[in-house]
Amino acid sequence: MKYNIKHLKEGSVTSAKGFMADGVHVGLRYNKKDVGMIYSEVPAVAAAVYTLNKFIAAPNIVTKESVNAERTLQAVVVNSACANACTGKRGMDDAVIMRRLAAEKYDIPEHYVGVASTGVIGEFLNMEKIAKGIREVAPEATTEGAKSFEKAIMTTDLIEKYTGYEAEIDGVKVTIGGCCKGSGMIHPNMATMLGFITTDANVDKDALQRAFSKITDISFNQITVDGETSTNDMVLLMANGMAGNNLLSEDHPQWDVFYTMLRKTSEDLAKSIAKDGEGATKLIEVKVKGAKNDADARAISKKIVGSSLVKTAVYGNDANWGRIVSAAGHSTADIDPSKVDVILGDQYMLKNSEVQPFDEEAAKEYLKSDTVYIEVNFHLGKGEATAWGCDLTYKYIEINASYRS
């Protein structure tokens, strides 16, 4: 079904009514902004997804406490340069202090504040500088405020990552916007990936969490850069209701409009992380069709896009489709190896598991594209999924060999 949904070219966390953001430099990094904040004029319904890494970082634990209290947030404070992970009691105390300082700044309950950190694991936060940043940050409802926030949350990212959409629901304009950071240590269940999505929609809190959890599985959890799941992965969604629409839930006649906007926002952000993978030169998109079910399709597509051999073949412009079927063959999904199609761009490499003649030079040229599309059809059922990743280059090794230098 087609909806009248408009993509916002400069969509961001300040696109939705009532949301403000900013970022400042306080010296956690040499010369880049390193403390950021998002603030809503009114308390917002909150939904969240968190890392499945067993070494969950202190800020994630504190934020989960905040969200679980009332499923309401009004502010989020973020720092880069230090992950505050594997830092014991001191790390927990520091994350709680960050939350308290942000709450005092706006005279709101402490559990209305979320906390996020990204950077080096196993180092303590410089709380004097963090406190200075919380005092100095001045969120505003402008594109400039959103850009400052986007810069403050970056680590090895090369570009800011943002998007937004708007549509009419109940006769009023409803807007969703978001930003994220992530370039390396990306293999979510939930990557270091931090994402922040804001909307002025009026949404039932249970319906919001159900939708967000479902959408995360087909967006953020379908990307991979290097197969590593961070201690700090987290995506937060805030809905402050200031658009003035009737309460949205699955029973609302225009629920699908809101759901589609949220899915598009999440997919845009997820793809931007995969495209900006450390050292990457190409985005790889793998579409799996005909799996037994969607879960199998997700497993296969992510296995293919995460294969180091597939990633290096794409980097080297080598149409080695054998690496694609090999990766699919050791996924957890059920497959029938006798009736598989593999398509690279618009060329069949394999059809019904029979090798197809193809133009090697044309395939080589295609692999030089900024985005490489791979489709695999297993002809077993109706399961479909898409996963996104990037090529694996010499630059990735260079970046990560000197990450702390």
Within 99-206, strands assigned E span: 113-117, 161-169, 172-181, 194-199
Comparing C-alpha atoms, which of 167, 146, 163, 154 is closest to residue 193? 154
Instruction: Please identify which of the residues 14, 192, 231, 386 carries the catalytic annotation.
Output: 192
Catalytic-residue membership of 192: yes
Token code pair at residue 279: 């050292």
Comparing C-alpha atoms, which of 339, 295, 317, 11 is closest to residue 175? 11
**Does residue 192 have a known ligand-binding role?**
yes
* Alpha helices in 332-371, H assignment, sequence order: 360-366
**Does residue 278 have a known ligand-binding role?**
yes
**Neighbour tally for 361: CB within 10 Å:** 9
Q: How far apart are the first and last CA of the chain?
A: 51
Contact between 359 and 347 under an 8 Å Cβ cutoff? The reply is yes
**Does residue 364 have a known ligand-binding role?**
no
Helices 88-106, 58-70: crossing angle, 10 deg rounding: 50
Query: Can you say whether the dihedral through the CA atoms of 398, 51, 40, 253 is positive or negative?
Result: positive
Within 152-265, strands assigned E span: 161-169, 172-181, 194-199, 234-239
**Does residue 155 have a known ligand-binding role?**
yes
**Where does residue 346 rank: exposed (0-12), middle (13-18), buried (19+ CB within 10 A)?**
exposed
CA 372 → CA 282, 346, 385, distances in Å? Answer: 7, 11, 16
What residues are annotated to the active site? Answer: 192
Q: Which residues are annotated as a binding site for substrate?
A: 155, 181, 192, 278, 400, 405
Q: Which residues are annotated as a binding site?
A: 155, 181, 192, 278, 400, 405
